Amino acid sequence: MKRIVVLTGAGISAESGISTFRDSGGLWEKYDIMEVATPEAWERDPELVNQFYNQRRKQLYEVEPNQAHYALVELEKKYDVRIITQNIDDLHERAGSSKVMHLHGELKKVRSSVDDSLVYDLDGWELKIGEKCELGSQLRPHVVWFGEPVPMIPAAADLTNTADIYLIIGTSLNVYPAAGLVSYVRPGTPVYLIDPGEMNVSHIAGVKHIREKAGAGTRKLADKLLQKG
């Protein structure tokens, strides 16, 4: 079975109603990201940071996967599909994808603020200041903040290196180290990028840029790959 490795970003969830970071109307216009998504912000104002992630989590319970998430599930009929997502939502899992690696953490999980290995499923959308881990420290969102290491990167790079076909969907390729993963694609591997944005992809050898929204673009590409596979 051929392996398809898929790198997804905020754009794949846009049609589900979750705003991206950089598009107009995106989260960055409403919040100063340095005030809500850094370890310094958490130190300075945990209430504000926690409120930001509580809002994101609450919204996540109100949205559904879209056509793009479901098309990736269908590809599993004929391919070994491995998803590497920068997203903290759980829409790939809810659509039914079986192998999903979260590079930047998961919104529905929380963890100890003194021991990263203590990760818990949060019951419901709201984390409260005062809720503690078993070591007695405040629980924090299980997300990778700007300035923090991305522990899954070596595993994601290894996986990228095993792709027979590589798909990139809905990411500006601006956030590192995730954006650097494309350099681990083996030479000669077919690479498809689905993103309606104008972006410079000259550094990605042989990439075919499909300038469509994730829903329609992924659906069409999946149909093509299923016919071939």
Q: Choose between 97 and 133: whose C-beta lies nearer to ligand NAD.
A: 97
C-beta of 70: minimal distance to ligand NAD in Å?
Answer: 14
Q: Which is nearer to ligand NAD, 22 or 78 (CB)?
A: 22
| Nearest residue (CB) to ligand NAD, 18 versus 75 | 18
Catalytic-residue membership of 102? no
Out of 92, 104, 142, 209, the active site residue is 104
Helix axes 67-74, 214-228, angle to 10 degrees: 10
**Which residues of the chain form contacts with ligand NAD (CB under 6 A)?**
9-11, 13-15, 18, 20-23, 26-27, 86-89, 104, 170-172, 174-175, 195-197, 213-214
Q: Closest CB to ligand NAD among 26 and 39?
A: 26
Least Å from the CB of residue 216 to ligand NAD: 9
**What SS3 class is residue 125?**
coil
Q: Which residue is nearest to ligand NAD (CB)?
A: 11
Closest distance of CB 15 from ligand NAD, Å:
5
Minimum separation from the CB atom of position 5 to ligand NAD (A): 16
DSSP single-letter state for residue 11: G
Kindly report the number of other CB atoms within 10 A of residue 92's CB atom.
Answer: 25
Q: What is the DSSP letter of 155?
A: H
**DSSP letter string over the chain?**
--EEEEEE-GGGGGGGT---SSSTTSHHHHS-HHHHSSHHHHHH-HHHHHHHHHHHHHHHTT----HHHHHHHHGGGTSEEEEEE---S-HHHHHT-S-EEESSEEEEEEEESS-TT-EEE-SSS---TT-B-TTSPBEEEEEPPTTS--TTHHHHHHHHTT-SEEEEES--S-STTGGGGGGGSPTT--EEEE-SS----TTSTT-EEE-S-HHHHHHHHHHHHHHH-
- Shortest distance, CB of residue 33 to ligand NAD, whole angstroms? 9
* 189 token code pair: 């591997």
Judged by beta carbon, residue 48 or residue 176, the one nearer ligand NAD is 176
Residues annotated as catalytic (active site), given as ranges = 104
